[in-house]
Structure formats: structure tokens, C-alpha cells
Structure 1
Amino acid sequence: MRSTTALRFWLAALLATLLLADQLLPPPLPGGSNPAHLAPHAQVVLARDGTPLRAFPDRAHIWRHPVRVAEVSPRYVEAVLAYEDRFFRWHPGVNPFALLRAAGQWLWHGRIVSGGSTLTMQVARMLEPEVYASRSLAGKLRQMARAVQLELRLSKAEILELYLTYAPMGGVLEGVESASRAYLGKPSLALSHAEAALLAVLPQTPSRLRPDRFPGRAREARDKVLDRLVPEWGEATVMEAKQEPVIAQTLREPLLAPLFAERVRKLYPKAQRVDTTLDAGTQASVEQLVAARLAVLPPRVSMAALVVDNATLEVRAYAGSADFSDAERFSHVDMVQGRRSPGSALKPFLYGLALDEGLIHSESLLSDVPQSFAGYQPGNFQASFSGPVGVTEALQKSLNVPAVEVLDRLGPQRFVSLLRRGGLKLDLPRGAEPNLSVILGGVAVNLEGMVGAYTAFARGGVAGKPRYTADAPVEEARLLSEGAAFIIRDVLESGGPVARQVEGGVGARRGIMWKTGTSFGFRDAWAVGVSDRYTVGVWVGRPDGTPNPGFFGANVAAPLLVDVFAAIDDSRPAKRTPPASVTQAKVCWPLGLRADAVPAALCHHERTAWLLNDAAPPTFPDRLRGGAARYTDYRDATSGRRVRAACSPGEMQAVEMARWPAALEPWLDAATRERALPPAWAPACAKAQAPEAGLKIVGIADGETIRRAGGSPGGPVPSLRLEARGGQQERIWLVDGRQVGRAPAGTALHHRFADPGRHTITVMDDAGRHDRVEISVR
């Protein structure tokens, strides 16, 4: 009785000791307190289909690609278990029968004939390779103890996954997925029978069996594995697999979306494997399109491109630089994150927010003429002006002065706050407050934020932050109303309702809206486009911020944008119908109101417009002169000349008139001027002349012909002295709508007329006074 009690005591003590040792000396599992050779651990960043984008080796420069059992071909699992450990699913980590068999063979033959290691024991050795470098008896016993510990802690599937991840595969490769991708160029899920057998035998002696260096040895070893698999696969399958040659690629580091991979790796520093949302095919296409342009890019110029899926906000392609191998192009500077001036790329949001604020409709009358906004005098990119334009034309042509005019009404502070509320981060110069230059690039944004904001045009006005992993939270905010987003997209995609009718909706069938931007000094060229499926952004420039003369959004970034869409999106655009808040109506210039609310005599030009919430706001108040847009004028009943009661000698007639903004009057065509401007004053009322008569071009007569010196076409280019009388303010001179200079009152300006033909010369000042003459140059 006492012996039985003592035995129980010693057994309990032994069990307690083993349990204590197990707790004090746990196995070095990944993610726990790993030994030095696993810290820092290897990482791999994957595309959404499992394609490696970039592998980050551990301290020993090992590439490792963690996989789950379900992500590996069952053929490979069958081959491994048949060759390495047929009783893996039943033993507790150590197979005593295999150990006895190995010991007997060793005693009989005097050498090792077969090993007694189980798959679990091999995993233990893989986790602590330096401990089991020598094959001593003590080392074997420790390996067995570790195997039991692993079996107590992990399921069979988890142990198998460790083997699939850490099995040595030759060179710097560990794990079946790394080997399959590196040697065979395919995922391990797609392994053939022959390939599964080849990779199953590699861990035995990986340095001697590498298929890229020793295909003959590798084939012999593979065929031995295949012979063992006849019971599982059948003789016919094995014979067919043996006919397959051993062909392996040269090892090379995966390098797709390298800057993206680096960024994501830092977001998940402890993860051995990071599954991202990138599409490997889309990424490769974008990188190829970028690389194809390197030959025509000047030194130090880089490019960046970003593709986002509108439905999920997941990033499908991410090119942070033009060439990751070219240090002269700042290869390691990620310009998807770089904050730069967007130029005109914010204009769609300005007009969309102005629609939401009830300030405009799609054909509101704007003034594309030289203007001064409290001393700020914007000009257009081409240095020319178009005169009266609608919102549609102003946005499509990216005209600067109309955009500043709209921002002046909306307010720069409110514009910036609305954009920030919608998720677009804007950086202002240190200590600066938002001003009118914001809309022409006076802020800094990055490509990531810009693309996220533009997704609003495909998502009913809701912008979102691009997502890089499937488990990343969806961050979105309303930037525009659904109606405003529809109108702006329609304007930039197909030209608005008029273009839809005239052109048959050609732009709508293409299904892409885009906008370009160029920052001051040609430092940054932008293009951002939106289709039903994707939003794509492109940036071109020098990361150090130096100028690129002649590089602007339309000629550098937009062609790449179009090519990207052609490469990644072959779907037909869905037919879009306007939301309930958007209606179509006829409006009249210059008042801007509905045509059915304006007398025919006051409707100088009729336009078809999109209205938001059925609102047709009037044209902005005149900045240069006071008075109502509709006014009553008086004419002499006999002569039809303009009169006033104080100077009229006879009967007067009241005539209702619609006034155009003073700055636009010099730009009106002859027919519109006849309808819009009152007739000349009657002689008795000559002293009541209006301000526009106070500025007069002198020295050049209307209709005059200017000839080259000597009368020959090859003679010297004529130079004219441009001079005006009247007024006390600075004069703005334009030739054919293009500003050619400014001159103080009383000062002349000289201009050379290099092109023959008819030319219109216009002078105007800030008070709305103007004069215009037409000349011919021969």
C-alpha cells in the first residue's frame, strides 16, 4: 500500500515538474518571445490574390511567406505527409515506432538509413535551428520534448501551417509558398502533382536539390517521392508526373509596388504577412505605363499614380515613384503621400459646393475678363480671355478668373472648411488664412487625398479615404450633395445637357470625367479621373519642387490617366439618370433666370442648364457698377435716341432693359450689343453720357488697315502705339481677347502685330469703362 502511494506521489511530482518546465521553457512560437534569429521577423506584403508584392527578409535575409493549409494545394500536403510523416495526424509529436525502426537500422547498418523525426519534431528544429545544429542524443531528446510541447499547445493544422511556412527551400527561401512563387512563378495552390512532389522533397537537402541549380538531382529526388505516392495518387498519375521536366526560374526578389509595400509594412510592423487590396495585374499595368514614359522625362522628374475602387474604396494600384531603381529620380520618395500644390484640380469641388449653396446653376453667367479682386489679379493659363462664359464652359476650359469670381462669392474660408469637413486635408502656408489663391493652387494636398475626394463624383457626393487592406475601416464623409456631384460629373464627362443633345452623348458613352491641374511655375502636373468603377489620380513633377517648364496637367498627366483607364477598365458605363434634385431648364443671359420668368426682350441668350433643387439663381451682382440688373431706359418717341426727362424736348417712351456686367460689355458681339446697350444719346442730352463713353482709343481708327513697312508681306512686323484718353485708372489692353499688357492712365503701350489678318483691340479699366476698335494687318 505504501509503495502504491509513493508511486503516485512520484508520478504527481514528475507531472508537476514537467508542467512547470513547460511553462518556464515554452516553445518559441512565432508572435511570442522568439529567439534572435526570428527578430526582426521576415515579412511579406501580398496583393489581394496572394501574389507577393515585396518580401522583407529577417536578420538572416530569409524570405518567408506564411500560408494557411487551405491556401496550399492538397497535392502538396499529401506529398509531404506521405514522404515525411504518414502518422502525423495520430501521434502526439513523437512516433515511438519510427524511432525504434531508425535505431534498429542504425545498429544493423552502422549508419543512419531513415530518420525517426516526425513532422512536429522538424517544426521544432525549424523554430530553433541553432539549438539543433549538432545531431547529439541530448539535442534529439530536447527536440522530442519540444514536439510534445507543440502538440499540447497547437492543433495539427496549426503545426502543419508552421511547416508550410518555415520549411527550408534552398537559398534564402523558406516555406512552400515562397518556393512556389520563386521557382515556379505560381501560387502553391496551383501546384501540379510533379511540382508538389518536387517541393515536398526540397527540405531534405535544400542546398543540393535546388531546382534552379541542380535540376537533375531535383528530378531524381522528386521521382522517389512520386514512387511513394502510388497508393494515394495511382500509378497512371505518378507515371504522367514523372514525364514532367524540372524547370525553375532564377531566384529574384519580388518587387511590385515597392513603396506601397514599404508603407503597409510600417502600418503592420508585427505581421509576418500583410494581405492588401492591390490587384497584381492592375499594378503591373500601371507600372509598365509609367516606365514607358521614362525615356521622355527630363532628369529628376518622377511620377505617381493611384487607382481606387469606387465601390469599396480599396486601392487597386499604387505607384509612388517613376522608377524604384533610379535614385536620380528620387526613387524612394513616395509622391502618393507628398503634399504639393494642386493647381486647378480643386475647381470641380468649388463649383459643386457653389451649386449646393444656391449660388449658381450649370449655365450661370460668369466673366472671363481681366479683373481685380481687392488687388488680386488672376490670369488664365493661356493668358487669353473668353468674355462671357457659363459655369460649364468655365469648368471645362479650367478658366481661372471665373473660378476666382465664384470663390469670391462663396468665401475662401468657407470653401476650405467645407472641403476639410468632406475629408480633404488642405495645408496652408504657415500662419496664412484661406484667400482667393486657394482655387488656383495656393494650398497643398497629396494624391491620396485628392483621389479620395474625387471618388465623391462616383459615390453620390460621398468622399472616402483610400483603403489598403480589406480589414481597414471605411472612412467616408459627405462632400457634395448627390445632385451637385451628378451635375459636375456630367459637365466634365459629357459637357452638360447641351452637349448631350448636340453630340449624342459621346462623352457619356466614354464614361470618364477628368480634371487636370498645374501648379505655379510648372512644378506639379495633375490629372484625376472618375469612371463608374475606378477613380484614378496621376501626379508628375520633381519631388524636390523645382520647376518643369512646359510640363502641365493636360500634356503630361492627362495622357497617362487616359492610358491607365484604357488598360484597367473595359466596362461599359452604366446609364445614369439625374437624381430627383436635378432638373433641366432654359435660362436666359444676362439675368441668369429661368426663360419662362423673363420677358423675351430681356432674354439676349437662351441656354439649357442643370438646376439643383429647382433653383435658378440670378447672375452675380455687378462688381464694377451699382444699379439693378433690370432697369428702365427712356427714348425719344420720334428719333429713338436715348433721353432723360430733364433734357428731352418731346415725348418719351419707357423701355425695359437687362444690363450685362460692365466688365463684359466690351466682349459682346454686334448683335448682342445692339440688344443689350442703349442707343446713342439725343443731342440735347449729350452731357448725360454713361461711364462707358469716358474711355476712348486714340491714334487708331476703327476699320483701319495697317501695312508692313515697304508694303511687302516679308517686311518688318508693324508695331502700334496703343493709347487711350479718359479716366484716371490703370488701363488693361487686350488684342483678340488676350491680355497684352497694363499701363497707367496717360501712358501708352507698344504692341507688335506679327500675324496678318483682322484684330480686335480692346481697352478697359476697373470702373467698367471701355472702348474697342478693329483693324486689319497686311
Structure 2
Amino acid sequence: MNQRAKSSSPGPGEDGALGAPSNGDNKSPRRSGRPHLKGEQGTWRRRALYAGAGLAAIACVAIGTTWGLIDSFGPAPLGRDLELSKTVVDRNSKLLRSYVTSQGRWRLPATRDQVDQRYLDVLFAYEDKRFFQHTGVDPLAFGRAALQFVSNGEIVSGGSTITMQVARLLEPRAKRSLYVKLREAVRAIQLESKLSKDQVLGLYLTLAPYGGNLEGIRAASLSYFGKEPKRLTLGEAALLVALPQSPELRRPDRFHASAVRARDRVLDRMARHGLFSADEIERAKLEPVPHARKKMPMIAPHAADDAIAGTPNAREIRLTIDGSLQKTLEALALDRARALGPDMSVAIMVVDNASGEVLARVASPDYFDERRAGQVDLTRAVRSPGSALKPFIYGLGFEDGLIHPETLIEDRPLRYGSYAPENFDLTFQGTVTIRRALQQSLNVPAVAVLEEVGPNRLTARLAEAGAALVLPRREAPGLALGLGGVGIRLADLTMLYSGFARGGAVQPLTEQMDTPKFPAKRLLEPVAAWYVAKILQGTPPPENAAGGRIAFKTGTSYGYRDAWAVGFDGKRTIGVWVGRPDGAPVSGLAGRTAAAPILFDALARGPQPLAPLPPAPAGALIATTAKLPPPLQRFQPHAVASASFTRPLHIVFPPNGASLELSAMAGEAPAPLPIKISGGTPPLTVMLNGLPLDASKAGRRLFFEPEGPGFVRLTVIDAAGAADSVLVRLQ
């Protein structure tokens, strides 16, 4: 009998009671002042129950009189002006990044639908059983609290409902007193007269304290478990119910043992209520409690920063980015950047061809890496595209009827005034088709076609499509822009390439959902765009990659500063940039070896299967060279450039005064560095610090092995006695 009476005694927080957060670790109600009951204990308990019922009735009357105090307290705060953490979510409403409030608090808004039902079951059973029945104040819980107050002479458990706790969180009071409790009761009734139960619950889920600067269940779940509270285990739910009672003294990251005990007490209460089976309770107690806080989500940080800066008054901004794809590509970019070197960076863009929506934007490999200038948005940095603009040159040639993919064109030494283009490998292939010229990225044929279509027209057409090229100061468009003598952003280049997949029309990029869509802009005629896409689909893939899956093009800027690769299928376009954020040259950096493998890896990690390119449009001519109309069988420029000349001798790479970073594995000698020479009369003599190098077999490109850091002098002398020399620093 005695044992049964003890087990039925209400403990702190039972029947929905939760006092104000205490300064201790969930101390038991004080027993001092109570009579020592033995044989008459059951009788005393019955009398106490009768007294409690009477007090509950009195409490009901007292609560009714509180309506008269409403005018003196004024209107209740409804939480509509709360400062919440600004959040940026992806296209599926998954959190990408959140920001602390002006007071440095993580306070993420939360609703009932965002929380695991298991947590809600534990919360109501432990804190407020009759939450959906009372109107802000629970008379039974209030009466029990009053009985404990009469028995002990002080507040033992507050009889607080969830609504009263919300009132306390909206109007914090440092001191506990009967007046404060009465004020909370009045505020609770006011809140429930203005707000729905779900709105009140949402305020609790948003404001409940969890220690430190964590407020609300979402901030706590993300910080302690690294996930949203939509899916919680029973042990996690119990911990999140226990922490707000004494948030500072139960913080798992500081008072781990206290947090474990508090969680287990909640689980024991659930066992007594029979809400969960004994096996579930035991498994929940075996779950580990975290020892430290985790970092808050930081996905697509540059895009989030841009969104917040553009709409500073918005609480939540929804981007077009796919969070899962973005996270995958961020990991890829970081992995490849580390493999390339400590100063190297990688940027990746993924665009939906049809809508122009940005599906992923990796602006740097690591937002917090100062050495890589991680907070610089490299998707919007102006860089030289190298050969990446050649497809647009040929596209205009197709559009004008000057060429066809099977048209023959000469790849031979040519000069346009003082400008003489050379191929990347300093060789010439003779007569080739336009298809081969583009797939092999030959420079001389591209410049020859650009001379016909006009640099000004190319610049204007790309600008009309929404991608303004950045020319050197006080320079007009010239033939050099076809080989990268111009600046462009990765975002714009990716957008332009998406036009090839949608019949020559470019859809302007958008990065926020529900923003107005601008009409598409014409880049090329459908037939010209299809010709380019089919040619690029046959570009030889990088090593160990399957060809023919996507259409793609690479580019390498002058001086090995920028490496590019842009590819597309029928649904999406991916752009990749590799280089140093400071624009310094990188020995041996090339689009085919540095950027193209990242492009194909990004393709493999994205949604599968790939979408086919559009079919041939009306008017497309599919024929061999011999069956083309005579004017299209061979490219006939209107102005024939000179082929017989001797260009001045010049060391193209490394440039004079450059600083080159030595790369080597631990314990090994530095990797060889390239020398690239143009012009002059062969044979050439190349000297390193006054000593000759064997250049007889290397032609105009050779490598030398540096001894280590320091300055080196490179000199080249041709057969006619002309010479060029550069001084380079190795570090």
C-alpha cells in the first residue's frame, strides 16, 4: 500500500508541469516541512487529493479573475515581430545556409510539420498532456502546483503549460514569483485567444532554449545531431524534450553526464506512461549523446550570401539550387583542388537548359580557405576563356553559309598584319575539315573563320545573348579574342553553351525560385546550333572517360592561367574553371588535363541517365565533303592572309618576370617546367643560366628540370642570330 502511494505521487513536470528553467539539474521537489507518514500515509494522501481538488477549483476561479488584469498587463506579444535567423533553402526547401540574428543567436523558425511525430508525442506526454484541451492554463496542473506551494511554502513545480512557457519566452523574467506566474497565465490565455494551437506550438518549437546561442528545435537538432528534426530517434527526441528545462546545465557539449541523466528521466517517464515499449526505451537509453556541437549547414555559401544581400528583408529565400547535387559537387571541387595544389581553386556551374535555373554553383572549393581566397566567387570572376569561344565563331560561320561541318579548311601558317596565330602544340595539320578543326581546337582555322564573320559581330552577338565580353582597356575587338584575348565569367560561358542544346536560344539564368522568367535570347539559328552541338559531341574525351556521352569543349588561357571545360547534354549544361584565384600562371595547366576530367566526374555524379541532344532541325544538311555544294566544299576566305614570313623570335612561356611554383611529391625532385617558343628561324638554341639545353628534338616546346627555388635565366637564339631572354623566379 505504501509503495503504491509513493509511485502515484506526481513528480516535477508531470501532468504537463514545467517550471521556469532552474539553476540546478532537475532537482526533485523538496520534502522539508511535510509530516513523516507511516501507517496513516494513505489517509493523508486521500486528504491531500481532496485538498488538491479544492485548490484546483479555487484556481479555476482565480484564473477567471485574471481577465480583469488584462488591461493592466496590456496586449500580449504574439511573436510576430521576432527576429529570426534568415534562412536560404534549396529548390526542395532543404536548408542550405542560415544566419545568426543580430544578437548572435541561432533561431530558426519551425512548425509542427517540420518535426518528428515521435518528438511531439514525448513533448506532450512530458510537458502538457492536455495541450489541445485547455485554453492556455491547465486547471489540474495549476491546482497541483498550488498544493505543492501550500505544502512547501515555495514554488516547487510551476504547473506551466506549453502556452505559458511560450509566454515566458516572449516576455522573459529573471525572477520566479507568484506574480510572474499569474502574469504568464494571463498571457497564455491571451495568446490562445489570438493564435491557433499550431501557431502556439510553432512559437515553442522556435523559441525553446537549448543552451548557448541555440534556440528552437531546428537549431538544436542541426547542432547536436547534424540533421533536421523531421526524423528523430526516440533517444534524440527525449534529449530535445529534456534540454529546455535547464538548457545551460544540461548542454551535451559541456555537461554530458547531466544531459544523459536528463534524457533517461524523460524516457523513464515515458515508460511509466506506457507510451513506448520497454524494449524501445532500453534501446533509446543505449543511444549515444553527442559530446560536441556540429557545424551548422553551409551549402552554396556564395549563392546564399548573394541572395541575402539582394533581398535583405526576406526571412527565407528559396533558390533553384539542388542541395544534394550542390553538396556532391562541392566535395568534388575540394578533392580536385587539393590534388592540384595548395593555391589551386575550382569552380563549377550546372544549369538547366530549358529553364535557365542554376542547379549548382560551386564558387570555390572551401569558403573558409584564405589561401585559396575561398570567399571570392570564381563563377563570376572575369577570366580569359582561351579556346572556349571557338564554337561561337564556327556557329556564326554556319549561320552565314560560309562553312559546313565537312567543309575543308587550311591549317597552315598565316599572318594577319602583325598577328600570326599558332596552334597549342606549335604544329600545323594541313587540310582538315571544319569538324576536325573544332574537335582538335586548331587555332589557325578558327582565326580564319573569325576574320570572315568579324570580331565585332561575334562580340555583339554574345552580348545580345546576355554575356558581355570584357576587353582590355581601350582595345577594340580583334582576331585575338577568338583564342582567349578577352574576359568572360564562368556563369556567362555556361549560359551561352546551354543555348547549343536548346536550338540556339539562350535562357537567362535565374537562381531564385518564383522569380519572373525573362524571354529567351537568340544566340544562333537552330541549324547552326545543331551543327556545333553534333561536332562537340565527337570531341575526344579525357583519359579514362567515355566519349560521345556529352558535347563539350575545353579552353586554356594565355600563360597557363585558366583551364576551362564546358559540356552539355539535352537537359543540363556544366561549366568548370580551374586556376589560381590571383591569376598567376600555373606550369602545364590545360583545360583538357585539368578541367575536362572534373567535368566528366561532375557529369557522372549528377542525375542519370543523360538526356539525348535534340534531333536535327529542318534545313540541316547531312552530307560528306564531296556531296556538298561546291561553295561549301572548301573554305574560301575573301582576304587571303600571307603565308611566307618570319615571325620575331619570342619566348611565349614562361613570360619575363613570372613567378612559377614548383610542384613535387615529398622526397622527389621538382617536376619539369615547360618552355614555349614562337617565331625565329630554326634551328634554335635554348640556354638555361648560360648552359645549352637539347632543343633539337623538342621543336618549339621543351621542358627543363629546375634544381630548386631561385631565379633562372632562359635564353633562346635562332639560326639568324636573333635572341630573346626572360628572367623567371621559381618558388
Of residues 331, 335, 345 in structure 1, which corresponds to 2:388? 345
- Which residue among 468, 471, 478 is the counterpart of 2:522? 478
CA 1:332–1:756: 2 relative to 1, 3 Å:
closer
Match runs of 1:700-719 below 5 Å? none
**Partner SS state of residue 263, structure 1:** helix
Q: Give the alignment of 1:292-303 within 5 angstroms.
A: 292-298=335-341, 300-303=343-346
Amino acid aligned to 2:287? P
Q: Which residue in the other structure is 2:578 paired with?
A: 540
The answer to whether 1:134 aligns with 2:175 is yes
Q: What is the aligned partner in structure 2 of residue 175 from structure 1?
A: 216
- When normalised by structure 2's length, the TM-score is 0.72
Matched, 1:584 2:604: no
Q: TM-score, normalised by structure 1?
A: 0.68
Q: Which has the larger displacement, 233-242 or 165-174?
A: 233-242
8 Å contact kept, 1:733–1:740: no
Structure 1 residues 15 and 72: alpha-carbon distance in aligned structure 2, compared to 1, 3 A threshold: closer
Aligned equivalents of 2:176, 2:405: Cα separation in 1: 82
What whole-Å deviation, never above 9, does each CA across 1:106-158 have from its counterpart, x for those lacking one? 122223332232222322333343xx222244444444444444434433222
Report the equivalent of 2:672: none
1:27 paired residue among 77, 97, 108:
77
Partners of 1:513 and 1:292 lie apart in 2 by 25
In 1, Cα distance between the equivalents of 2:206 and 2:608? 38
Task: Tell me, yes or no, if the aligned pair for 1:421 and 1:477 is still in contact at 8 Å.
Answer: yes
Work out which of the residue numbers 314, 333, 336 in structure 2 matches 1:290.
Answer: 333
Counterparts in 2 of 1:370 and 1:262: CA distance versus 1, 3 Å: same
1:446 and 1:26 map into 2 onto residues whose CA distance is: 53
CA 1:451–1:154 in structure 2 vs 1: closer, same or farther (change >3 Å)? farther
Matched, 1:187 2:228: yes
Where do 4+ consecutive residues of structure 1 move more than 6 Å? 14-21, 756-759
CA distance in 2, matches of 1:428, 1:26: 61
Query: Once structures 1 and 2 are overlaid, which stretch shifts more, 570-579 or 196-205?
Result: 570-579
Is 1:329–2:406 an aligned residue pair?
Answer: no
Quote the residue 2:129 is aligned against. Answer: 86
Structure 2 counterpart of 1:119: 162
Aligned to 2:245: 204
Work out which of the residue numbers 481, 485, 501 in structure 2 matches 1:442.
485
Give the match for residue 559 of structure 1: 597
Question: 2:411, 2:462 → 1: CA distance?
Answer: 25
Is 1:262 aligned with 2:300? no
Identity of aligned residues (%): 40
Listed as ranges, the matches of 1:306-705 within 5 Å are: 306-475=349-518, 476-494=520-538, 507-508=547-548, 511-574=549-612, 577-588=615-626, 594-595=627-628, 616=632, 619-624=635-640
- Distance, in Å, in 2 between the alignment partners of 1:187 and 1:482 is 46
Of 110, 119, 134, the residue aligned with 1:67 is 110
Q: 1:537 to 1:16 in 2, by over 3 A?
A: farther
Identify if the C-alpha distance between structure 1 residues 141 and 110 changes in structure 2 by more than 3 Å, giving closer, same or farther: closer
Q: Using the alignment, how far apart are the partners of 2:290 and 2:612 within structure 1?
A: 45
The 8 Å contact of residues 362 and 487 in structure 1, kept in 2 or not, is answered as yes
Q: Give SS of 1:190's match.
A: coil
Secondary structure at the counterpart of residue 361 of structure 1: coil
1:278-330, CA deviations, whole angstroms, 9 ceiling, x for partnerless residues?
A: 44443333233333334454554322222334455443433222333331221
Question: Alignment partner of 2:263: what SS?
Answer: helix
Distance in 1, Cα, partners of 2:590 & 2:119: 54
In the alignment, the residues of structure 1 paired with residue 274 and residue 380 of structure 2 have an alpha-carbon distance, to the nearest angstrom, of 53
Q: Judging changes above 3 Å, is the alpha-carbon distance between structure 1 residues 104 and 342 closer, same or farther for their aligned structure 2 residues? A: same
Displacement of 1:87 after TM fit? 3.0
Shift of 1:573: 4.7
For residue 306 of structure 1, give the secondary structure of its aligned residue in structure 2.
strand
Contact 2:226–2:294 (CA under 8 A) maintained in structure 1: no
Q: For residue 75 of structure 1, report the CA deviation from its aligned partner.
A: 1.7
Query: 2:401 & 2:447 partners in 1: Cα distance?
Result: 17
Would you say the 8 A contact 2:539–2:552 is kept in 1?
no
Larger Rg: 1
Distance 1:463 1:133, change over 3 A: farther
Is the contact made by 1:304 and 1:321 (CA closer than 8 Å) also made in structure 2? Answer: yes
**Cα gap change, 1:238/1:348 in structure 2, threshold over 3 Å: closer, same or farther?**
same
For the residues of structure 2 that align with 1:459 and 1:122, how far apart are their CA atoms?
Answer: 57
Q: Note the residue ranges of structure 2 that are not aligned, 5 or more in a row.
A: 1-65, 650-675, 686-693, 701-731
* 1:533-555 Cα shifts (integer Å, max 9, x gaps): 43222212222233223222222
**1:754: how far off?**
5.7
Deviation at 1:97, TM superposition (A): 4.6
Render the CA deviation track for 1:555-588: whole Å, top value 9, x for unaligned. 2222222222233344255475323332411233
Q: Distance in 2 between matches of 1:391 and 1:127?
A: 72
After superposition, the C-alpha distances for 1:727-752 in whole angstroms (9 at most, x for unaligned) are: xx844699xxxx98657xxxx76557
Quickly say closer, same or farther: Cα 1:354–1:57, change in 2 above 3 A: same
CA distance in structure 2 between the partners assigned to 1:482 and 1:179 by the alignment: 54
Evaluate the alpha carbon distance shift between residue 353 and residue 121 of structure 1 in structure 2; reply closer, same or farther with a 3 A threshold. farther
Deviations 1:458-477 (A, max 9, x none): 33333334443333443443
Q: Is the 8 A contact 1:527 1:553 kept in 2?
A: yes
Higher strand share: 1
In 2, Cα distance between the equivalents of 1:467 and 1:284? 19
Contact 1:121/1:143, CA 8 A, preserved across alignment: yes
Q: Is the 8 A contact 1:427 1:444 kept in 2?
A: yes
Q: Indicate whether 1:252 and 2:290 are aligned.
A: no
Higher relative contact order (CA 8 A, sep 6+): 2
Matches of 1:19 and 1:415, distance apart in 2: 74
Rounded Cα–Cα distance in structure 2 between residues aligned with 1:202 and 1:142: 24
Change (3 A) 1:98 1:271: farther
With over 3 angstroms needed to count, the CA separation of the structure-2 counterparts of 1:103 and 1:490, relative to structure 1, is: same
Partners of 1:417 and 1:145 in 2: CA distance: 70
Q: Conserved in 2, the CA contact under 8 Å of 1:359 and 1:617?
A: no
Deviation at 1:352, TM superposition (A): 2.2
Contact 1:211 1:246 in 2 (8 A): no
Unaligned regions of 5+ residues in structure 1, if any? 1-13, 500-504, 589-593, 599-614, 626-661, 664-728, 760-778
* Cα root mean square deviation, aligned: 3.7
Give the 3 Å change call, closer, same or farther, for CA 411–79 of structure 1 in structure 2: same
What secondary structure does 1:188 align onto?
coil
